[in-house]
Amino acid sequence: MFKLGFSVPKLICLQMQTIRTMMHKVFVYGTLKRGEPNYYWLTKNENGVGKFVSEGRTKTKYPLIIATKYNIPFLLHKPGTGYNVQGEIFEVDDTMLSKLDILEDHPNYYVREIDDITVTDAVTKNQESVQCWVYFLKNFKEELLLRPRFDSYSATGPHGLVYMDSNNESVPEDLDEVLA
Q: How far is the CB of 89 from ligand PCA (least distance, A)?
A: 11
Number of alpha carbons in the 13 Å side-chain half-sphere of residue 101: 15
In the complex with ligand PCA, the residue whose CB is nearer, 93 or 155, is 155
Buried b (16+ CB within 10 A) or exposed e, 150-171: beebebeeeeebebeeeeeeee
The catalytically annotated residue of 46, 91, 104, 128 is 104
In the complex with ligand PCA, the residue whose CB is nearer, 50 or 73, is 73
**Sites of contact with ligand PCA (CB under 6 A):** 28-33, 38, 73, 104, 110, 135
In the complex with ligand PCA, the residue whose CB is nearer, 110 or 140, is 110
Q: Are 131 and 114 in contact (CB under 8 A)?
A: yes
In DSSP terms, which residues pair with 135 in a beta bridge?
A: 112
Distance, C-alpha 123 to centroid of its chain: 26
In the complex with ligand PCA, the residue whose CB is nearer, 16 or 162, is 162
Helix, strand, coil % in the chain, rounded to nearest 5: 25, 30, 45
Q: How far is the CB of 22 from ligand PCA (least distance, A)?
A: 21
Instruction: Please tell me what DSSP assigns to residue 152.
Output: S
Does the annotation mark 55 as catalytic? no
Q: How far is the CB of 118 from ligand PCA (least distance, A)?
A: 16
CA distance linking residue 144 with residue 141, whole number of Å = 6
Q: How far is the CB of 37 from ligand PCA (least distance, A)?
A: 8
Indicate which residues carry an active-site annotation. Answer: 104
